[in-house]
Structure 1
């Protein structure tokens, strides 16, 4: 399985980069992983809704350039479907059974994701109703993808 994580912005904190590297290494035995970063836009403080829409549109255009035809696109969105880790593992397993060989996860920027990308997604996934920093979300997503592969392989992993 090819797994891409398309995300906005660079991870600046070393501890997050270390966690991303660790889970990327662990996932190497289960899938081919690519992390594709697109540039983020500077968001002025107290930006109007119109300015925020323009920023999300620019970031969305950059994301769209990486979305591949035939890939199954999962957008991380606060209004998406919430599932358990086991449910997430079943989702990944079922996609493979259905012949999907390429999954692309999309993580938007600090103010969210462009509606055009959300409409293009095959599935919207929410990890919580809470808001997380988009850079931390990368680590959380990688950990859950790794956990899903461990669950599907019936291998032990701490709970």
Structure 2
């Protein structure tokens, strides 16, 4: 199963970009042996529309253009449910075992995701009840994807 992290906004050079890249590279390396041949990041330009609902609609259209047919969608949204790392790893393992070819992880921009995207997602997860900048959510999602690969691969990175 291929994994694709889709985020609104381009991460500028620096620590945020480096951390995201590091975790996704590690996830790709760890995932190959356990049925996840690739992990990639796709960044979408932020909408310049004046109103939040217009921005979400434009960004949602751009996200939908990247979604593969019959793929599994996971949305990260502040109104999603919290899940622990083992549960997240189980989610990825079950998705892989379902035979789907692609899993997309969606991170909205400053206004969040278009409601139609969260409604169509198989899973909607939150990183707790706090609101996080979407650039930090990208890092946390990349780290959790890597952590899930290590849990599924019985690597000692995750210590519960």
Normalising by structure 1, we get a TM-score of 0.90
Shift of 1:107: 0.3
Match of residue 156 from structure 1: 156
The offset of 1:100, in angstroms, is: 2.4
User: Which 4+ residue blocks in structure 1 deviate beyond 3 angstroms?
Assistant: none
The alignment status of 1:67 with 2:67, answered yes or no, reads yes
Contact 2:150 2:156 in 1 (8 A): yes
- Using the alignment, how far apart are the partners of 1:53 and 1:158 within structure 2? 39
**TM superposition shift of 1:27:** 1.5
After superposition, give the CA deviation of every residue in 1:74-104 in whole Å (9 maximum; x if it has no partner).
0111121211101111111111122223110
**Counterpart in the other structure of 1:39:** 45
Offset of 1:142 from its aligned partner?
A: 0.6
Unmatched 5+ stretches in structure 1: 45-50
Q: Structure 2 length as normaliser, TM-score?
A: 0.89
2:82 corresponds in structure 1 to 82
The 1:123–1:158 alpha-carbon spacing in structure 2 relative to 1, beyond 3 Å, is closer
Give structure 2 stretches of 5+ with no counterpart. none
Structure 1 segment 1-159 matched on structure 2, within 5 A: 1-29=1-29, 30=31, 31=36, 32-42=38-48, 51-157=51-157, 159=159
